[in-house]
Structure 1
Amino acid sequence: MKRLWINSWAISLMSCLLFAGPLCRAYAEDPSLQEQSAQDQSPAASTGRQPMDPDQVVDMLAAKLNLTEEQKAQIKPIIADRQQKLRDLREDTSSRPMQRMRKAKKIVEDSDKKIEPILNEQQKQQYIQIEEQMRQQARARMQNRGAGNMQ
């Protein structure tokens, strides 16, 4: 039973982390983006967490990395493709959870490899820092959840 819980939790965590990548951190740190998002949400969207669309992801990247219009135009189709592949993967029930996690990680890595050449050196370093902060936060959440279930 414990193994089943861990697998379902791991899938949820991976899909959350991989859907928006390091951009969730940017959203969490920037109140202006939160206010704009709250204004844009319809009543139907407020009932549950909606994944960000490619425009929202690119806007967050632009805010954190100071992207040019050309960079934004180049990154948007990469993000859209990544999100579609991740949606397709979530709907694939034929694979085992760990296989799907590995596939999801590969999808994100592949899209990051496409994004990296578009960024200048300073933007690349900022992007790496954002990703590392996201990993640290995910580890902390995982440890906190694990400790809460042991009691």
Structure 2
Amino acid sequence: MKFASRLALLGLAVSIGAASTAYAAPFQDMPPPGDNTTTAPGQHAMPDPQKQTERLTRKLQLTPDQATKIEAILQNRQQQMQQMRADASSSPHDQHQKMRALKQDTDSQIEAILNDSQRQQYQQMQQEAMQHRRDNKQGSPGAGGGDDGGNPSAAGT
């Protein structure tokens, strides 16, 4: 009888292991906890600075030097945004204002690196992204008004 009990327990353990593997399979492509692509409800996903830089490089024909500088700016912005979101002492309104100011500062830094033609294209990208967001907000039920400052590097990725 001992042998049968052990065999039953072994069968149960194998079944549980197989079931947990099958259950976990759909979640393997999900980002790990703390990944910057996951957000709380109502928050925008934070775009990856490297992907943003790649996109801007394609759209604006950035030089390698420009791309390196812009990626550093975008990484710095991402770190500061994460700190702002983690700061529970600020009201949502204050956080929004700080994030908007950070975005404007980041845009100014990026524009300073671009030549005149690239700067004009970048500003056009910002306007298109802002219009796209406004159109989406108007079309979604219960959408709040307002502008999130426009993020051209997040649109169309």
**Structures share a fold, TM > 0.5?**
yes
Q: More helix by proportion, 1 or 2?
A: 1
1:89 paired with 2:75, answer no
Tell me the TM-score normalized by structure 2. Answer: 0.62
Counterpart selection for 1:138 from 130, 133, 141: 133
1:44 paired with 2:30, answer yes
Gaps of 5+ in 2: 1-27, 38-45, 144-157
1:133 match: secondary structure: helix
2:133 match: secondary structure: helix
1:101 paired with 2:96, answer yes
Aligned residues: 106
1:125 paired with 2:120, answer yes
Tell me the TM-score normalized by structure 1. Answer: 0.64
Which residue number in structure 2 is paired with residue 56 of structure 1?
Answer: 51
Alpha-carbon offset, residue 52 of structure 1: 3.2
Gaps of 5+ in 1: 1-41
Alpha-carbon displacement from aligned partner over 1:6-35 (angstroms, at most 9, x marks no partner): xxxxxxxxxxxxxxxxxxxxxxxxxxxxxx
Q: Which amino acid aligns with 2:133?
A: A
Tell me the distance in 2 between the aligned counterparts of 1:149 and 1:104.
23
Percent identity, please. 32
Deviation larger for 59-68 or 133-142: 133-142
* Larger RCO (CA under 8 A, 6+ residues apart): 1
Tell me the distance in 1 between the aligned counterparts of 2:109 and 2:123.
14
Structure 1 stretches of at least 4 aligned residues deviating more than 3 Å after TM superposition: none
Tell me the distance in 2 between the aligned counterparts of 1:49 and 1:105.
19
Structure with max Cα Rg? 2
* Structure 2 CA distance for partners of 1:44 and 1:129, relative to 1, 3 Å: same
* Structure 2 CA distance for partners of 1:49 and 1:144, relative to 1, 3 Å: farther
Which residue number in structure 2 is paired with residue 32 of structure 1?
Answer: none
